[in-house]
């Protein structure tokens, strides 16, 4: 690889498909990409193994590591703590590979401050429509109604951040629509491997983000109403 290894930040609203894209990147280019396994206080979902999906920590252990300065970034998401360990990122970069971070938006902002462009590249991934995102979140079924509502509320905030960031591109260099997995993965590959690539923000993307915020807000409101109705 001729390009110096970069920190590749993939952020997306929950259900946006970033984990699938990250997995696919590593599968297609195992020599080029490495994954940073995050730490979290969230309980493992069925099938998630320690050290693969996450390092599962108690809150006390997580806090201890925060105080020891072991995190590149960390954030609270839906009541749980998530963070990127410096050791993970440094290990992958030292091996000459780009390191992929699958993180939420507050963390993406913090990474930007430590690894400015072009040492990092940050990509916001959105599903083709708000309906597709809601559908994916519902299908996951590992979350309770309350958790679903919480994740949806966070999704609204995250997409709004991306929308506000469209012109300044402080947090995100690129926005990729995850309609077709193959197209999205190729899009991400093209972005990572060309640090000079110019941001391409079409008016469609701007409209898509605005439409997303509107629909997600509506869905979050509906969910809120149905909770009230059932209690």
Instruction: Provide the binding-site residues for ligand 5GP, judged by CB under 6 A.
Output: 14, 38, 42, 73, 75, 77, 82-84, 102-104, 106-107
Residue closest to ligand 5GP (Cβ)? 107
Q: Which is nearer to ligand 5GP, 42 or 197 (CB)?
A: 42
Nearer to ligand 5GP, 104 or 202 (CB): 104
Phi/psi-derived region of residue 186, left when phi > 0, alpha when psi is between -120 and 50, beta in every other case: alpha
- With beta carbons less than 8 A apart as the criterion, state whether 14 and 155 touch: yes
Q: Work out how close the CB of 125 gets to ligand 5GP at its nearest, in angstroms, rounded to a whole number.
A: 10
Nearest CB to ligand 5GP, comparing residues 82 and 212: 82
Cα–chain center distance at 60:
25
Smallest separation, CB 229 to ligand 5GP (Å): 27
Our CB check for ligand 5GP shows the closer of 19 and 32 to be 19
Q: How many CB atoms neighbour CB 77 within 10 A?
A: 20
DSSP 72-100: EEEEEETTEEEEEEHHHHHHHHHTT-EEE
Do 174 and 77 form a contact (C-beta atoms < 8 A)?
A: no
Taking alpha carbons only, the member of 155, 124, 127 closest to residue 219 is 155
- Between CA 179 and CA 84 the distance in angstroms is 28
**Minimum separation from the CB atom of position 194 to ligand 5GP (A):** 24
Nearer to ligand 5GP, 55 or 197 (CB): 55
When the beta carbons of 102 and 165 are compared against ligand 5GP, the nearer one is 102
Helices (H) and strands (E) in the chain, counts: 8, 9
User: Smallest gap, in angstroms, from Cβ of residue 95 to ligand 5GP?
Assistant: 19
Smallest distance from ligand 5GP to CB 26, Å:
15
Minimum separation from the CB atom of position 14 to ligand 5GP (A): 5
Residue whose structure tokens are 């077709």? 180
């Amino acid at each position: 690889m001729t390009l110096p290894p970069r920190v590749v930040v993939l952020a997306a609203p929950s259900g946006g498909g970033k984990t699938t894209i990250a997995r696919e990147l590593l599968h297609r280019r195992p020599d080029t990409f490495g994954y940073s396994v995050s730490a979290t206080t969230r309980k493992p979902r069925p099938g998630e193994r320690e050290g693969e999906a996450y390092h599962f920590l108690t809150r006390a252990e997580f806090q201890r590591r925060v105080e020891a300065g072991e995190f590149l970034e960390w954030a609270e998401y839906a009541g749980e703590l998530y963070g990127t360990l410096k050791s993970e990122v440094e290990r992958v970069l030292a091996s000459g590979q780009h390191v992929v971070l699958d993180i939420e938006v507050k963390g993406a902002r913090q990474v930007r401050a430590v690894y400015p462009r072009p040492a990092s590249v940050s990509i916001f991934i959105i599903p083709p429509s708000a309906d597709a995102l809601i559908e994916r979140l519902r299908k996951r079924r590992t979350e309770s109604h309350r958790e679903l509502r919480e994740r949806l509320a966070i999704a609204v905030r995250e997409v709004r951040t991306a929308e506000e960031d469209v012109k300044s591109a402080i947090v995100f260099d690129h926005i990729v629509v995850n309609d077709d997995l193959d197209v999205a993965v190729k899009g991400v590959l093209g972005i990572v491997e060309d640090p000079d690539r110019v941001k391409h923000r079409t008016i469609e993307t701007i409209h898509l983000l605005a439409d997303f915020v509107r629909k997600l807000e509506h869905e979050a409101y509906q969910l809120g109403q149905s909770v009230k109705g059932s209690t």
